[in-house]
A and B are shown apart, each in its own frame.
Chain A
Protein backbone atom coordinates (compact mmCIF):
# COMPACT_ATOMS: atom_id res chain seq x y z
CA UNK A 1 0.00 0.00 0.00
CA UNK A 2 2.61 2.57 0.87
CA UNK A 3 5.68 1.00 -0.48
CA UNK A 4 8.55 -0.22 1.57
CA UNK A 5 7.85 1.93 4.59
CA UNK A 6 5.06 -0.31 5.73
CA UNK A 7 5.73 -1.05 9.34
CA UNK A 8 3.05 -3.54 10.13
CA UNK A 9 5.42 -5.51 12.24
CA UNK A 10 6.28 -2.67 14.54
CA UNK A 11 3.61 -3.05 17.18
CA UNK A 12 3.75 -6.46 18.76
CA UNK A 13 2.09 -7.80 21.86
CA UNK A 14 5.25 -7.02 23.78
CA UNK A 15 4.90 -3.34 22.99
CA UNK A 16 1.23 -3.41 23.82
CA UNK A 17 1.89 -5.17 27.07
CA UNK A 18 4.41 -2.54 27.99
CA UNK A 19 1.89 0.20 27.32
CA UNK A 20 -0.72 -1.53 29.44
CA UNK A 21 1.69 -1.89 32.31
CA UNK A 22 2.80 1.68 31.94
CA UNK A 23 -0.79 2.83 32.19
CA UNK A 24 -1.48 0.72 35.24
CA UNK A 25 1.70 1.56 37.10
CA UNK A 26 2.05 5.16 36.02
CA UNK A 27 5.80 4.92 35.71
CA UNK A 28 8.25 2.15 34.81
CA UNK A 29 11.98 1.82 35.09
CA UNK A 30 14.54 0.96 32.49
CA UNK A 31 15.05 -2.56 33.81
CA UNK A 32 11.37 -3.19 33.12
CA UNK A 33 11.84 -2.16 29.52
CA UNK A 34 14.66 -4.65 29.19
CA UNK A 35 13.00 -7.45 31.06
CA UNK A 36 9.62 -7.62 29.41
CA UNK A 37 10.72 -8.47 25.87
CA UNK A 38 13.05 -11.15 27.21
CA UNK A 39 10.27 -12.78 29.16
CA UNK A 40 7.77 -12.71 26.34
CA UNK A 41 10.27 -14.13 23.90
CA UNK A 42 11.11 -16.91 26.28
CA UNK A 43 7.48 -17.87 26.60
CA UNK A 44 6.72 -17.57 22.91
CA UNK A 45 9.92 -19.37 22.18
CA UNK A 46 10.57 -17.10 19.27
CA UNK A 47 13.81 -15.97 17.81
CA UNK A 48 12.94 -12.35 17.40
CA UNK A 49 15.85 -10.12 18.18
CA UNK A 50 15.28 -8.17 21.34
CA UNK A 51 15.21 -4.46 20.68
CA UNK A 52 17.34 -2.05 22.59
CA UNK A 53 15.33 0.01 25.08
CA UNK A 54 15.64 3.19 23.02
CA UNK A 55 14.38 1.49 19.88
CA UNK A 56 11.63 -0.24 21.78
CA UNK A 57 10.38 3.09 23.12
CA UNK A 58 10.87 4.95 19.85
CA UNK A 59 8.89 2.38 17.93
CA UNK A 60 5.99 2.71 20.29
CA UNK A 61 6.19 6.49 20.15
CA UNK A 62 6.06 6.53 16.39
CA UNK A 63 2.74 4.77 16.58
CA UNK A 64 1.36 6.92 19.37
CA UNK A 65 2.40 10.17 17.79
CA UNK A 66 -0.87 10.75 16.01
CA UNK A 67 -2.75 10.31 19.26
CA UNK A 68 -0.75 13.08 20.92
CA UNK A 69 0.62 10.61 23.42
CA UNK A 70 4.27 9.95 24.07
CA UNK A 71 6.41 7.81 26.32
CA UNK A 72 8.79 10.25 27.91
CA UNK A 73 12.04 9.27 29.46
CA UNK A 74 13.28 10.97 32.56
CA UNK A 75 15.70 10.45 35.36
CA UNK A 76 14.89 10.34 39.06
CA UNK A 77 16.27 13.42 40.71
CA UNK A 78 17.69 11.74 43.74
CA UNK A 79 19.48 8.69 42.41
CA UNK A 80 19.59 9.05 38.67
CA UNK A 81 17.52 6.04 37.65
CA UNK A 82 16.01 6.22 34.17
CA UNK A 83 12.22 6.15 34.26
CA UNK A 84 9.45 6.21 31.69
CA UNK A 85 6.00 7.79 31.86
CA UNK A 86 3.12 8.17 29.44
CA UNK A 87 2.55 11.80 28.67
CA UNK A 88 -0.36 13.37 26.89
CA UNK A 89 0.97 16.17 24.76
CA UNK A 90 -2.31 17.87 24.13
CA UNK A 91 -3.32 18.74 27.63
CA UNK A 92 -1.74 21.28 29.88
CA UNK A 93 -3.43 20.54 33.14
CA UNK A 94 -3.15 17.95 35.82
CA UNK A 95 -5.96 16.14 34.09
CA UNK A 96 -4.60 12.66 34.58
CA UNK A 97 -5.08 13.00 38.28
CA UNK A 98 -8.58 14.36 37.83
CA UNK A 99 -10.09 10.93 37.41
CA UNK A 100 -8.76 9.61 40.67
CA UNK A 101 -9.22 12.57 42.96
CA UNK A 102 -11.98 14.88 44.11
CA UNK A 103 -11.92 18.62 43.59
CA UNK A 104 -10.65 19.44 47.05
CA UNK A 105 -7.99 16.74 46.77
CA UNK A 106 -6.76 18.16 43.48
CA UNK A 107 -6.62 21.57 45.06
CA UNK A 108 -4.56 20.16 47.91
CA UNK A 109 -2.17 18.81 45.33
CA UNK A 110 -1.92 22.17 43.65
CA UNK A 111 -1.25 23.92 46.93
CA UNK A 112 1.41 21.40 47.87
CA UNK A 113 2.90 21.71 44.41
CA UNK A 114 3.22 25.44 44.82
CA UNK A 115 4.97 25.05 48.16
CA UNK A 116 7.33 22.47 46.68
CA UNK A 117 8.24 24.67 43.76
CA UNK A 118 8.79 27.73 45.90
CA UNK A 119 10.93 25.87 48.38
CA UNK A 120 14.67 25.81 48.30
CA UNK A 121 15.06 22.10 48.88
CA UNK A 122 12.25 20.88 46.65
CA UNK A 123 10.43 19.58 49.70
CA UNK A 124 7.41 20.94 51.54
CA UNK A 125 6.76 19.94 55.11
CA UNK A 126 3.49 18.21 55.83
CA UNK A 127 2.76 20.83 58.49
CA UNK A 128 2.92 23.63 55.98
CA UNK A 129 0.76 21.75 53.54
CA UNK A 130 -1.82 20.85 56.12
CA UNK A 131 -2.05 24.45 57.26
CA UNK A 132 -3.52 25.31 53.88
CA UNK A 133 -6.42 22.93 54.30
CA UNK A 134 -8.83 25.77 55.01
CA UNK A 135 -8.12 27.41 51.69
CA UNK A 136 -9.12 24.46 49.55
CA UNK A 137 -11.80 24.64 46.93
CA UNK A 138 -14.66 22.23 47.12
CA UNK A 139 -15.81 20.24 50.10
CA UNK A 140 -14.24 21.16 53.41
CA UNK A 141 -11.37 18.85 54.33
CA UNK A 142 -10.02 18.20 57.78
CA UNK A 143 -6.33 17.85 58.48
CA UNK A 144 -6.69 14.16 59.26
CA UNK A 145 -8.27 13.58 55.87
CA UNK A 146 -5.62 15.65 54.20
CA UNK A 147 -2.95 13.40 55.68
CA UNK A 148 -4.62 10.42 54.04
CA UNK A 149 -4.87 12.24 50.76
CA UNK A 150 -1.18 13.03 50.85
CA UNK A 151 -0.46 9.34 51.36
CA UNK A 152 -2.67 8.58 48.40
CA UNK A 153 -0.57 10.94 46.30
CA UNK A 154 2.51 9.01 47.33
CA UNK A 155 0.95 5.63 46.57
CA UNK A 156 -0.13 6.77 43.14
CA UNK A 157 3.33 8.09 42.48
CA UNK A 158 2.47 11.74 42.19
CA UNK A 159 4.48 12.69 45.21
CA UNK A 160 7.37 11.28 47.13
CA UNK A 161 7.78 11.44 50.86
CA UNK A 162 10.83 11.57 53.04
CA UNK A 163 10.80 12.12 56.77
CA UNK A 164 7.51 13.96 56.82
CA UNK A 165 8.30 16.16 53.87
CA UNK A 166 6.80 15.89 50.43
CA UNK A 167 8.27 16.38 46.99
CA UNK A 168 7.25 15.58 43.44
CA UNK A 169 7.65 12.05 42.16
CA UNK A 170 9.64 11.59 38.98
CA UNK A 171 6.42 10.62 37.28
CA UNK A 172 4.75 13.92 38.11
CA UNK A 173 7.79 15.83 36.94
CA UNK A 174 7.56 14.09 33.58
CA UNK A 175 3.83 14.26 33.12
CA UNK A 176 3.25 17.76 34.45
CA UNK A 177 6.30 19.45 33.01
CA UNK A 178 4.26 21.63 30.70
CA UNK A 179 1.68 22.43 33.32
CA UNK A 180 4.30 23.46 35.86
CA UNK A 181 6.24 25.65 33.48
CA UNK A 182 3.09 27.44 32.44
CA UNK A 183 1.55 27.85 35.85
CA UNK A 184 4.67 28.92 37.72
CA UNK A 185 6.84 30.56 35.09
CA UNK A 186 8.69 32.72 37.58
CA UNK A 187 9.14 30.28 40.42
CA UNK A 188 10.11 27.29 38.32
CA UNK A 189 13.73 26.14 38.51
CA UNK A 190 15.69 24.60 35.71
CA UNK A 191 18.83 22.49 35.80
CA UNK A 192 21.80 24.32 34.35
CA UNK A 193 23.15 21.15 32.79
CA UNK A 194 20.17 19.34 31.27
CA UNK A 195 17.77 22.31 31.07
CA UNK A 196 14.86 20.26 32.40
CA UNK A 197 12.62 21.09 35.27
CA UNK A 198 14.36 20.96 38.61
CA UNK A 199 12.68 20.23 41.91
CA UNK A 200 15.51 18.75 43.97
CA UNK A 201 19.14 19.50 43.31
CA UNK A 202 22.28 21.25 44.38
CA UNK A 203 23.18 24.86 43.82
CA UNK A 204 26.36 26.80 43.43
CA UNK A 205 27.01 29.11 46.33
CA UNK A 206 28.81 31.62 44.20
CA UNK A 207 26.73 32.09 41.07
CA UNK A 208 23.49 30.52 42.21
CA UNK A 209 22.91 28.08 39.35
CA UNK A 210 21.09 24.89 40.15
CA UNK A 211 21.78 21.40 38.91
CA UNK A 212 20.31 17.95 39.34
CA UNK A 213 22.39 15.65 41.48
CA UNK A 214 22.65 12.96 38.77
CA UNK A 215 23.52 15.62 36.19
CA UNK A 216 26.35 17.10 38.20
CA UNK A 217 27.52 13.61 39.13
CA UNK A 218 27.93 12.81 35.47
CA UNK A 219 29.55 16.14 34.77
CA UNK A 220 32.09 15.78 37.53
CA UNK A 221 32.63 12.07 37.00
CA UNK A 222 36.15 12.24 35.71
CA UNK A 223 37.11 15.35 37.56
CA UNK A 224 39.27 15.19 40.63
CA UNK A 225 38.68 18.88 41.27
CA UNK A 226 34.93 19.44 41.40
CA UNK A 227 33.92 22.84 40.10
CA UNK A 228 30.78 24.69 39.10
CA UNK A 229 29.87 24.17 35.46
CA UNK A 230 28.97 27.82 35.16
CA UNK A 231 31.40 29.92 37.16
CA UNK A 232 34.13 27.34 37.74
CA UNK A 233 34.28 28.00 41.45
CA UNK A 234 34.89 25.06 43.75
CA UNK A 235 31.88 22.78 44.08
CA UNK A 236 31.39 22.28 47.80
CA UNK A 237 28.68 19.62 47.83
CA UNK A 238 29.12 15.90 48.12
CA UNK A 239 28.54 14.32 44.74
CA UNK A 240 27.51 10.66 44.58
CA UNK A 241 28.55 8.15 41.99
CA UNK A 242 26.78 7.97 38.68
CA UNK A 243 23.92 5.47 38.66
CA UNK A 244 25.05 2.17 37.24
CA UNK A 245 22.38 -0.45 36.57
CA UNK A 246 24.97 -3.22 36.37
CA UNK A 247 26.31 -2.46 39.81
CA UNK A 248 22.84 -2.48 41.27
CA UNK A 249 22.14 -5.96 39.99
CA UNK A 250 25.34 -7.21 41.53
CA UNK A 251 24.56 -5.93 44.96
CA UNK A 252 21.11 -7.47 44.57
CA UNK A 253 19.28 -4.57 46.11
CA UNK A 254 15.55 -5.10 46.22
CA UNK A 255 13.49 -2.73 44.17
CA UNK A 256 11.20 -1.88 47.00
CA UNK A 257 14.11 -0.20 48.70
CA UNK A 258 14.79 1.88 45.70
CA UNK A 259 11.24 2.98 45.28
CA UNK A 260 11.21 5.16 48.34
CA UNK A 261 12.96 8.41 47.73
CA UNK A 262 16.17 8.30 49.66
CA UNK A 263 18.16 11.31 48.78
CA UNK A 264 21.81 10.75 49.35
CA UNK A 265 22.67 14.26 50.04
CA UNK A 266 21.11 16.70 52.35
Chain B
Protein backbone atom coordinates (compact mmCIF):
# COMPACT_ATOMS: atom_id res chain seq x y z
CA UNK B 1 0.00 0.00 0.00
CA UNK B 2 1.15 3.48 -0.64
CA UNK B 3 1.92 3.92 3.00
CA UNK B 4 4.84 1.54 2.90
CA UNK B 5 6.36 3.18 -0.10
CA UNK B 6 6.20 6.52 1.60
CA UNK B 7 8.32 5.19 4.40
CA UNK B 8 10.91 4.01 2.01
CA UNK B 9 11.06 7.40 0.44
CA UNK B 10 11.69 8.91 3.83
CA UNK B 11 14.71 6.68 4.29
CA UNK B 12 16.28 7.79 1.06
CA UNK B 13 15.72 11.42 1.81
CA UNK B 14 17.25 11.29 5.25
CA UNK B 15 20.18 9.28 4.11
CA UNK B 16 21.32 8.37 7.57
CA UNK B 17 22.45 4.88 8.37
CA UNK B 18 20.83 4.69 11.72
CA UNK B 19 17.58 5.87 10.23
CA UNK B 20 17.65 3.16 7.60
CA UNK B 21 18.03 0.52 10.30
CA UNK B 22 14.89 1.72 11.98
CA UNK B 23 13.07 2.05 8.70
CA UNK B 24 13.80 -1.52 7.79
CA UNK B 25 12.11 -2.58 10.98
CA UNK B 26 9.13 -0.41 10.12
CA UNK B 27 8.78 -1.86 6.68
CA UNK B 28 8.61 -5.34 8.06
CA UNK B 29 5.52 -4.52 9.97
CA UNK B 30 2.20 -5.58 8.68
CA UNK B 31 0.01 -3.19 6.86
CA UNK B 32 -2.41 -3.21 9.72
CA UNK B 33 -1.44 0.29 10.63
CA UNK B 34 -4.57 2.28 10.30
CA UNK B 35 -3.10 5.66 10.89
CA UNK B 36 -1.76 6.23 7.44
CA UNK B 37 -3.92 9.11 6.42
CA UNK B 38 -5.14 10.34 9.71
CA UNK B 39 -3.82 13.81 9.28
CA UNK B 40 -4.66 15.68 6.13
CA UNK B 41 -1.97 17.85 4.76
CA UNK B 42 -3.35 21.27 5.21
CA UNK B 43 -0.30 23.26 4.32
CA UNK B 44 1.79 23.18 1.25
CA UNK B 45 4.84 22.51 3.34
CA UNK B 46 3.50 19.11 2.51
CA UNK B 47 3.04 15.72 3.92
CA UNK B 48 6.46 15.59 5.46
CA UNK B 49 5.33 17.75 8.32
CA UNK B 50 2.69 15.15 9.13
CA UNK B 51 5.09 12.37 8.74
CA UNK B 52 5.89 11.76 12.39
CA UNK B 53 2.19 11.63 13.01
CA UNK B 54 1.76 8.76 10.66
CA UNK B 55 4.74 6.68 11.59
CA UNK B 56 3.86 3.40 13.15
CA UNK B 57 3.08 2.95 16.80
CA UNK B 58 5.79 1.80 19.19
CA UNK B 59 4.76 -1.83 19.21
CA UNK B 60 4.93 -2.09 15.50
CA UNK B 61 8.28 -0.43 15.26
CA UNK B 62 9.95 -2.81 17.59
CA UNK B 63 8.30 -5.76 15.98
CA UNK B 64 8.14 -7.59 19.26
CA UNK B 65 4.71 -8.43 20.60
CA UNK B 66 5.90 -9.27 24.07
CA UNK B 67 7.21 -5.82 24.62
CA UNK B 68 4.27 -3.59 25.25
CA UNK B 69 4.63 0.05 24.38
CA UNK B 70 4.98 0.94 28.02
CA UNK B 71 8.32 -0.73 28.24
CA UNK B 72 9.59 1.35 25.44
CA UNK B 73 8.94 4.89 26.43
CA UNK B 74 9.85 7.49 23.86
CA UNK B 75 13.33 7.90 25.31
CA UNK B 76 14.33 4.49 24.04
CA UNK B 77 13.95 5.68 20.51
CA UNK B 78 16.62 8.18 21.19
CA UNK B 79 19.38 5.68 21.77
CA UNK B 80 20.21 4.82 18.17
CA UNK B 81 19.79 8.39 17.18
CA UNK B 82 21.40 10.02 20.16
CA UNK B 83 24.59 10.00 18.23
CA UNK B 84 22.94 11.80 15.42
CA UNK B 85 21.57 14.63 17.47
CA UNK B 86 24.64 16.66 18.32
CA UNK B 87 25.62 16.44 14.72
CA UNK B 88 22.35 17.72 13.49
CA UNK B 89 23.01 20.88 15.36
CA UNK B 90 26.40 21.53 13.89
CA UNK B 91 26.04 21.98 10.25
CA UNK B 92 29.60 22.97 9.62
CA UNK B 93 30.64 19.39 9.33
CA UNK B 94 33.73 18.02 10.96
CA UNK B 95 36.16 15.21 10.62
CA UNK B 96 33.85 12.54 12.06
CA UNK B 97 32.81 9.94 9.53
CA UNK B 98 29.23 9.73 10.71
CA UNK B 99 28.80 13.40 10.21
CA UNK B 100 29.92 13.13 6.67
CA UNK B 101 27.34 10.53 5.88
CA UNK B 102 24.63 12.72 7.33
CA UNK B 103 25.64 15.81 5.49
CA UNK B 104 25.67 14.03 2.16
CA UNK B 105 21.98 14.52 1.87
CA UNK B 106 22.31 18.11 0.91
CA UNK B 107 18.88 18.23 -0.55
CA UNK B 108 17.56 18.57 2.97
CA UNK B 109 16.98 21.95 4.50
CA UNK B 110 19.02 22.36 7.65
CA UNK B 111 16.14 22.10 10.09
CA UNK B 112 15.24 18.60 9.02
CA UNK B 113 18.44 16.90 9.97
CA UNK B 114 16.84 15.58 13.12
CA UNK B 115 15.51 12.07 12.55
CA UNK B 116 11.79 11.81 12.11
CA UNK B 117 11.07 9.45 14.94
CA UNK B 118 12.80 11.71 17.42
CA UNK B 119 10.65 14.61 16.34
CA UNK B 120 7.66 12.32 16.54
CA UNK B 121 8.40 11.51 20.13
CA UNK B 122 9.01 15.10 21.09
CA UNK B 123 5.78 16.16 19.45
CA UNK B 124 3.94 13.47 21.41
CA UNK B 125 5.56 14.64 24.63
CA UNK B 126 4.73 18.26 23.93
CA UNK B 127 1.14 17.42 23.08
CA UNK B 128 0.78 15.53 26.35
CA UNK B 129 2.28 18.44 28.25
CA UNK B 130 0.00 20.98 26.61
CA UNK B 131 -3.08 18.83 27.12
CA UNK B 132 -2.27 18.79 30.78
CA UNK B 133 -2.17 22.58 30.77
CA UNK B 134 -5.50 22.59 29.00
CA UNK B 135 -7.04 20.38 31.60
CA UNK B 136 -5.70 22.35 34.55
CA UNK B 137 -6.41 25.66 32.81
CA UNK B 138 -2.92 26.88 33.51
CA UNK B 139 -0.83 29.13 31.32
CA UNK B 140 2.50 27.96 30.05
CA UNK B 141 5.55 29.70 28.69
CA UNK B 142 8.02 28.91 25.99
CA UNK B 143 10.69 28.58 28.65
CA UNK B 144 8.68 26.00 30.49
CA UNK B 145 8.10 24.01 27.34
CA UNK B 146 11.79 24.07 26.52
CA UNK B 147 12.83 22.98 29.98
CA UNK B 148 10.29 20.30 30.63
CA UNK B 149 9.72 18.80 27.21
CA UNK B 150 12.13 19.86 24.50
CA UNK B 151 15.31 19.69 26.56
CA UNK B 152 18.18 18.83 24.23
CA UNK B 153 16.40 19.73 21.06
CA UNK B 154 15.97 23.41 21.65
CA UNK B 155 17.02 24.33 18.12
CA UNK B 156 14.13 22.35 16.80
CA UNK B 157 11.56 23.96 19.03
CA UNK B 158 9.77 25.86 16.23
CA UNK B 159 9.26 22.71 14.23
CA UNK B 160 8.17 20.60 17.16
CA UNK B 161 5.91 23.35 18.44
CA UNK B 162 4.30 23.83 15.07
CA UNK B 163 3.51 20.16 14.68
CA UNK B 164 2.22 19.87 18.21
CA UNK B 165 -0.09 22.81 17.49
CA UNK B 166 -1.46 21.13 14.40
CA UNK B 167 -1.99 17.93 16.34
CA UNK B 168 -3.85 19.70 19.07
CA UNK B 169 -6.11 21.48 16.65
CA UNK B 170 -6.86 18.53 14.44
CA UNK B 171 -7.35 15.89 17.07
CA UNK B 172 -8.55 17.79 20.10
CA UNK B 173 -9.93 21.06 18.84
CA UNK B 174 -7.61 22.86 21.25
CA UNK B 175 -5.77 26.00 20.33
CA UNK B 176 -2.61 27.49 21.78
CA UNK B 177 -3.06 31.21 22.01
CA UNK B 178 -0.34 33.65 22.81
CA UNK B 179 -1.37 35.60 25.84
CA UNK B 180 1.61 37.75 26.51
CA UNK B 181 4.24 38.17 23.82
CA UNK B 182 6.67 39.82 26.22
CA UNK B 183 7.23 36.62 28.14
CA UNK B 184 6.03 34.15 25.52
CA UNK B 185 3.18 32.88 27.60
CA UNK B 186 0.37 30.84 26.13
CA UNK B 187 -3.09 29.69 27.06
CA UNK B 188 -4.84 26.55 25.91
CA UNK B 189 -8.39 27.13 24.74
CA UNK B 190 -10.96 25.13 22.87
CA UNK B 191 -11.84 26.16 19.36
CA UNK B 192 -15.12 24.33 19.17
CA UNK B 193 -18.20 26.45 18.88
CA UNK B 194 -21.08 26.61 21.26
CA UNK B 195 -23.22 24.46 19.03
CA UNK B 196 -21.21 21.40 19.86
CA UNK B 197 -22.00 21.45 23.52
CA UNK B 198 -24.39 19.80 25.74
CA UNK B 199 -23.11 16.87 27.62
CA UNK B 200 -22.47 18.07 31.06
CA UNK B 201 -25.64 17.39 32.92
CA UNK B 202 -27.61 14.38 33.88
CA UNK B 203 -30.55 13.46 31.78
CA UNK B 204 -31.21 15.12 28.49
CA UNK B 205 -28.97 17.82 27.16
CA UNK B 206 -30.18 21.35 27.61
CA UNK B 207 -29.73 24.54 25.68
CA UNK B 208 -27.33 26.48 27.84
CA UNK B 209 -26.78 29.12 25.23
CA UNK B 210 -29.61 31.36 26.30
CA UNK B 211 -28.36 31.86 29.81
CA UNK B 212 -24.80 31.99 28.58
CA UNK B 213 -25.36 34.86 26.25
CA UNK B 214 -27.30 36.76 28.87
CA UNK B 215 -24.45 36.61 31.33
CA UNK B 216 -21.77 37.25 28.73
CA UNK B 217 -23.67 40.31 27.61
CA UNK B 218 -23.91 41.57 31.15
CA UNK B 219 -20.20 41.18 31.66
CA UNK B 220 -19.54 42.96 28.40
CA UNK B 221 -21.82 45.83 29.30
CA UNK B 222 -20.36 46.21 32.74
CA UNK B 223 -16.88 46.33 31.31
CA UNK B 224 -15.47 42.82 31.58
CA UNK B 225 -16.62 41.97 35.08
CA UNK B 226 -20.00 41.75 36.80
CA UNK B 227 -20.95 40.96 40.37
CA UNK B 228 -22.77 37.79 41.19
CA UNK B 229 -25.63 39.71 42.80
CA UNK B 230 -26.34 41.54 39.57
CA UNK B 231 -26.32 38.30 37.64
CA UNK B 232 -28.94 36.79 39.91
CA UNK B 233 -31.07 39.93 39.65
CA UNK B 234 -31.22 39.56 35.92
CA UNK B 235 -31.73 35.81 36.01
CA UNK B 236 -34.59 36.24 38.45
CA UNK B 237 -36.32 38.45 35.92
CA UNK B 238 -36.03 35.53 33.52
CA UNK B 239 -37.56 33.23 36.06
CA UNK B 240 -34.31 31.55 37.01
CA UNK B 241 -33.67 31.41 40.73
CA UNK B 242 -30.71 30.32 42.78
CA UNK B 243 -31.41 26.99 44.41
CA UNK B 244 -34.48 26.19 42.34
CA UNK B 245 -34.38 23.74 39.50
CA UNK B 246 -35.36 25.41 36.27
CA UNK B 247 -37.23 23.30 33.75
CA UNK B 248 -34.72 24.14 31.02
CA UNK B 249 -31.52 25.08 32.77
CA UNK B 250 -31.67 22.72 35.68
CA UNK B 251 -29.95 23.89 38.80
CA UNK B 252 -28.72 27.35 37.79
CA UNK B 253 -25.95 27.82 40.33
CA UNK B 254 -24.37 24.54 39.32
CA UNK B 255 -24.66 25.59 35.70
CA UNK B 256 -23.13 29.02 35.89
CA UNK B 257 -20.54 28.57 38.62
CA UNK B 258 -19.34 25.13 37.77
CA UNK B 259 -20.38 23.80 34.40
CA UNK B 260 -19.83 26.91 32.34
CA UNK B 261 -16.68 27.71 34.26
CA UNK B 262 -15.33 24.28 33.53
CA UNK B 263 -16.09 24.89 29.88
CA UNK B 264 -14.01 28.04 30.13
CA UNK B 265 -16.81 30.44 29.24
CA UNK B 266 -16.66 32.21 32.57
CA UNK B 267 -14.23 32.89 35.28
CA UNK B 268 -15.89 32.95 38.65
CA UNK B 269 -13.78 34.49 41.31
CA UNK B 270 -13.97 36.06 44.69
CA UNK B 271 -13.93 39.84 44.70
CA UNK B 272 -10.52 40.69 46.12
CA UNK B 273 -10.56 41.60 49.80
CA UNK B 274 -14.27 41.03 50.10
CA UNK B 275 -15.47 39.98 53.50
CA UNK B 276 -17.97 38.35 53.67
CA UNK B 277 -16.88 36.77 50.41
CA UNK B 278 -18.58 38.12 47.33
CA UNK B 279 -18.04 36.79 43.85
CA UNK B 280 -17.90 38.10 40.33
CA UNK B 281 -18.04 36.76 36.80
CA UNK B 282 -15.65 37.51 33.99
CA UNK B 283 -15.35 36.29 30.45
CA UNK B 284 -13.37 33.08 30.33
CA UNK B 285 -10.70 32.24 27.78
CA UNK B 286 -13.14 30.36 25.64
CA UNK B 287 -15.53 33.27 25.50
CA UNK B 288 -12.66 35.51 24.44
CA UNK B 289 -11.68 33.07 21.76
CA UNK B 290 -15.13 32.28 20.42
CA UNK B 291 -17.41 35.22 20.91
CA UNK B 292 -17.22 38.18 18.65
CA UNK B 293 -18.13 41.29 20.59
CA UNK B 294 -19.51 43.00 17.52
CA UNK B 295 -21.98 40.24 16.91
CA UNK B 296 -22.95 40.30 20.56
CA UNK B 297 -23.49 44.02 20.34
CA UNK B 298 -25.58 43.67 17.21
CA UNK B 299 -27.72 41.15 18.99
CA UNK B 300 -28.18 43.40 21.99
CA UNK B 301 -28.98 46.32 19.75
CA UNK B 302 -31.52 44.32 17.86
CA UNK B 303 -33.45 43.17 20.89
CA UNK B 304 -33.52 46.65 22.33
CA UNK B 305 -34.66 48.01 19.02
CA UNK B 306 -31.66 50.17 18.30
CA UNK B 307 -28.30 50.19 16.59
CA UNK B 308 -24.81 49.18 17.76
CA UNK B 309 -23.62 52.74 17.29
CA UNK B 310 -26.08 53.86 19.89
CA UNK B 311 -23.74 52.39 22.45
CA UNK B 312 -20.53 54.24 21.66
CA UNK B 313 -18.36 52.77 24.41
CA UNK B 314 -19.26 49.20 23.65
CA UNK B 315 -19.11 49.84 19.97
CA UNK B 316 -15.56 51.06 20.38
CA UNK B 317 -14.68 48.02 22.43
CA UNK B 318 -16.14 45.73 19.80
CA UNK B 319 -14.23 47.52 17.06
CA UNK B 320 -11.04 47.17 19.02
CA UNK B 321 -11.55 43.45 19.32
CA UNK B 322 -12.14 43.20 15.60
CA UNK B 323 -8.92 45.01 14.88
CA UNK B 324 -6.92 42.89 17.26
CA UNK B 325 -8.24 39.77 15.67
CA UNK B 326 -7.59 41.02 12.19
CA UNK B 327 -4.04 41.79 13.15
CA UNK B 328 -3.28 38.44 14.66
CA UNK B 329 -5.12 36.71 11.89
CA UNK B 330 -7.48 34.86 14.15
CA UNK B 331 -10.48 33.27 12.58
CA UNK B 332 -12.89 32.24 15.26
CA UNK B 333 -15.85 30.01 14.91
CA UNK B 334 -18.51 32.55 15.49
CA UNK B 335 -21.70 30.94 16.60
CA UNK B 336 -23.23 34.02 18.08
CA UNK B 337 -25.66 34.22 15.21
CA UNK B 338 -26.84 30.77 16.13
CA UNK B 339 -27.05 31.85 19.71
CA UNK B 340 -28.95 34.95 18.77
CA UNK B 341 -31.74 33.05 17.15
CA UNK B 342 -32.03 30.73 20.09
CA UNK B 343 -32.06 33.40 22.70
CA UNK B 344 -34.27 35.95 21.08
CA UNK B 345 -36.80 35.29 23.76
CA UNK B 346 -34.60 36.89 26.40
CA UNK B 347 -36.37 39.82 27.96
CA UNK B 348 -35.28 43.07 26.45
CA UNK B 349 -35.93 45.00 29.60
CA UNK B 350 -32.71 43.78 31.14
CA UNK B 351 -30.69 45.20 28.33
CA UNK B 352 -31.88 48.73 28.29
CA UNK B 353 -28.78 50.85 28.39
CA UNK B 354 -28.55 53.36 31.18
A and B: real partners?
yes
Q: Which residues of A contact B (CB under 8 A)?
A: 1-3, 5-8, 10-11, 13-14, 16-17, 19-21, 23-24, 32, 35-36, 39-40, 43-44, 60, 62-69, 88-92, 99-100, 178, 182, 254-256
Q: Which residues of chain B come closer than 8 Å to A90, judged between CB atoms?
A: 58, 69-70, 73-74, 124
Given the contacts A20-B192, A89-B58, A6 and B173 also touching, CB distance less than 8 Å = no
| A35-B199, A89-B70, A90-B70 known; A65-B34 Cβ under 8 A | yes
Known: A16-B192, A20-B192, A99-B136. A6 touches B40 (CB 8 A): yes
Min CB distance A180 to B, Å, is 11
Known contacts A5-B1, A5-B36; is A68 also within 8 Å of B74 by CB?
yes
Q: In the complex, A69→B338 CA distance in Å?
A: 34
Q: Are B196 and A43 in contact (CB under 8 A)?
A: yes
By beta carbon, the residue of chain B nearest A69 is B128
B45 to chain A, nearest CB (A): 13
Q: Which 8 A-B pairs have the closest CB atoms?
A: A16-B173, A8-B40, A178-B70, A63-B38, A89-B69, A62-B34, A66-B53, A6-B37
Set B35, B54, B128, B136: member contacting A88, Cβ < 8 A: B128
- Can you report 23 residue pairs joining A to B where beta carbons are below 8 Å apart? A1-B41, A2-B3, A8-B37, A11-B171, A14-B196, A20-B172, A21-B200, A23-B134, A36-B199, A39-B205, A43-B195, A43-B196, A64-B171, A66-B35, A67-B128, A67-B171, A88-B128, A89-B57, A89-B58, A90-B73, A90-B74, A182-B70, A254-B203
Verify B132–A67 contact, CB threshold 8 A.
no
In this complex, the member of B38, B54, B136, B171 whose beta carbon has the largest number of chain A beta carbons within 10 angstroms is B38
> How far does the Cβ of A185 sit from chain B's closest Cβ, in whole Å?
13
User: B347 within 8 Å of A by Cβ?
Assistant: no
Chain A proximity of B247: nearest CB distance (Å): 17
Q: What residues of chain A lie closer than 8 Å to B71, measured between beta carbons? A: 92
User: How far apart are B27's CB and chain A's nearest CB, in angstroms?
Assistant: 17
Question: Interface digits, B1-21 against A, CB 8 Å rule (1 contact, 0 not)?
Answer: 111001000000000000000
Given contacts A2-B2, A44-B195, A67-B171, 8 further A-B contacts (CB under 8 A): A3-B2, A5-B2, A60-B171, A63-B35, A65-B33, A65-B57, A67-B123, A69-B124
